[in-house]
């Protein structure tokens, strides 16, 4: 059997056919060179964020079984849209940071047993930045004012600002939220009071002659009205971000896998870094409450977060939370 050579497959063409083919080829090349976009080029498609009907969003929120009296109104939907479209990059960063700071809430909430959705207040208050400060003087993950923080035992001085401590500030915030709930016996009102204070909420209740947030909403500051609605949107986002193709930007494992230790006597972050072979920059980021890198003496113990990767000796030399009496 003989195989066909390339010559066997050539189709005979006359001069007229050749000329017309050359003209078409020249036209194609010229068009490709001078046109803004080559013919047959793949067009870049703009990414379209998935969208869902109000009924689907409402069903999802209902499934969360939040203890807040929620509504799905235009403002809530507007916040959801903002987080999932224009604010996507910031949202993905916050979702990643939640692996660092939500565990502090879960640690203390085992004792206080508050609604789990309250952890989202950290996102609204600080964007999960423990160092952020407000013009009014609030600071930390929970944006505690100095007077409120001190009333729950937090230290604020030249060396320490425990509002920036992820653990101690979280416990103080949970105590404060518990106190607000005791006053109003309603989590929606307690959240509103966390933003504007109990005095204003009580005044709104008196004016509106109701203890239903949605009925007295108009008597509260606009910031507080939006605060509760943003709270609903953030909780929806934290639980359903994957449906919007949001991908959390997780921090390095060094900052995710940490272990809290109690230090009772005077110490320095630099000394701890040398002892455990930990970069000082990492220690500062993990422990922003120690303003000058100095850990003052404390009979109840100061919390220091250390990365656990490759640090097996930490358990042998440090007192692990909770309620350890060993000293470092």
Q: Please write the tens of the pLDDT for every residue from 159-173.
A: 999 999 999 999 999
- Here the contacts of 193-197 (C-beta below 8 Å, separation 24 or greater) are 194/121, 195/223, 195/224, 195/227, 195/228, 196/220, 196/221, 196/223, 196/224, 196/227
Q: For the ranges 23-32, 183-192, 287-296, which has the lowest average pLDDT?
A: 23-32
Question: Given pLDDT bands bounded at 50, 70 and 90, which one contains residue 46?
Answer: low
Question: What would the pLDDT profile of 92-112 be if each residue is shown by its tens digit?
Answer: 999 999 999 999 999 999 999
Contact 257, 100 (CB under 8 A): no
Question: What would the pLDDT profile of 275-285 be if each residue is shown by its tens digit?
Answer: 888 999 999 99
Asked if residue 118 has pLDDT above 80, the reply is yes
The pLDDT value given to residue 26: 47
The pLDDT value given to residue 306: 92
Question: Given pLDDT bands bounded at 50, 70 and 90, which one contains residue 256?
Answer: confident
Element containing residue 260 per DSSP (H, E): strand 258-263
Domains detected in the chain = 54-244 (1.10.530.10), 253-320 (no CATH)
Question: Given pLDDT bands bounded at 50, 70 and 90, which one contains residue 2?
Answer: very low
Question: Given pLDDT bands bounded at 50, 70 and 90, which one contains residue 4?
Answer: very low
Q: Report the pLDDT averaged over residues 227-239.
A: 97
The pLDDT value given to residue 274: 93
The pLDDT value given to residue 47: 65
Assess whether the previous peptide bond of 322 is cis (omega < 30° from 0). Answer: yes
118: left (phi over 0), alpha (psi -120 to 50) or beta: alpha
Q: Report the pLDDT averaged over residues 41-59.
A: 77
Can you say whether the dihedral through the CA atoms of 289, 294, 299, 302 is positive or negative? Answer: positive
Question: Given pLDDT bands bounded at 50, 70 and 90, which one contains residue 259?
Answer: confident
Q: Report the pLDDT averaged over residues 256-281.
A: 91
């Amino acid at each position: 059997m003989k195989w066909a050579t390339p010559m066997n497959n050539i189709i005979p063409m006359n001069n007229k056919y050749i000329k017309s083919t050359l003209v078409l080829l020249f036209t194609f090349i010229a068009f490709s060179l001078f046109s803004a976009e080559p013919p047959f080029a793949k067009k870049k498609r703009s990414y379209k964020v998935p969208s869902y009907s109000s009924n689907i969003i409402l069903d999802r929120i209902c499934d969360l079984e939040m203890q807040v009296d929620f509504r799905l109104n235009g403002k809530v939907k507007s916040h959801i849209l903002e987080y999932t479209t224009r604010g996507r990059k910031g949202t993905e960063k916050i979702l990643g940071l939640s692996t660092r700071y939500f565990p502090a809430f879960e640690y203390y909430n085992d004792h206080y047993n508050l609604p789990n959705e309250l952890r989202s207040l950290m996102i609204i208050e600080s964007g999960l930045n423990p160092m952020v400060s407000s013009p009014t003087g609030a600071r930390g993950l929970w944006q505690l004012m100095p007077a409120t923080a001190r009333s729950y035992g937090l230290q604020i001085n030249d060396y320490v600002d425990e509002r920036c401590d992820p653990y101690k500030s979280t416990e103080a915030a949970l105590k404060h939220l518990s106190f607000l709930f005791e006053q109003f016996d309603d989590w929606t009102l307690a959240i509103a009071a966390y933003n504007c204070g109990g005095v204003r909420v009580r005044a709104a209740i008196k004016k509106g002659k109701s203890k239903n947030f949605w009925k007295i909403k108009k008597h509260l500051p606009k910031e507080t009205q939006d605060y509760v609605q943003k709270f609903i949107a953030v909780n929806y986002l934290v639980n359903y971000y994957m449906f919007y193709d949001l991908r959390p930007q997780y921090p390095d494992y060094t900052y995710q896998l940490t272990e809290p230790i109690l230090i009772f006597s005077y110490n320095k972050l630099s000394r701890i870094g040398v002892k455990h072979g930990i970069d000082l920059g990492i220690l500062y980021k993990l422990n922003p409450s120690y303003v000058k890198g100095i850990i003052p003496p404390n009979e109840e113990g100061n919390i220091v977060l250390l990365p656990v990767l490759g640090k097996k000796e930490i358990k042998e030399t440090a007192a692990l939370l909770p309620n350890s009496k060993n000293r470092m």
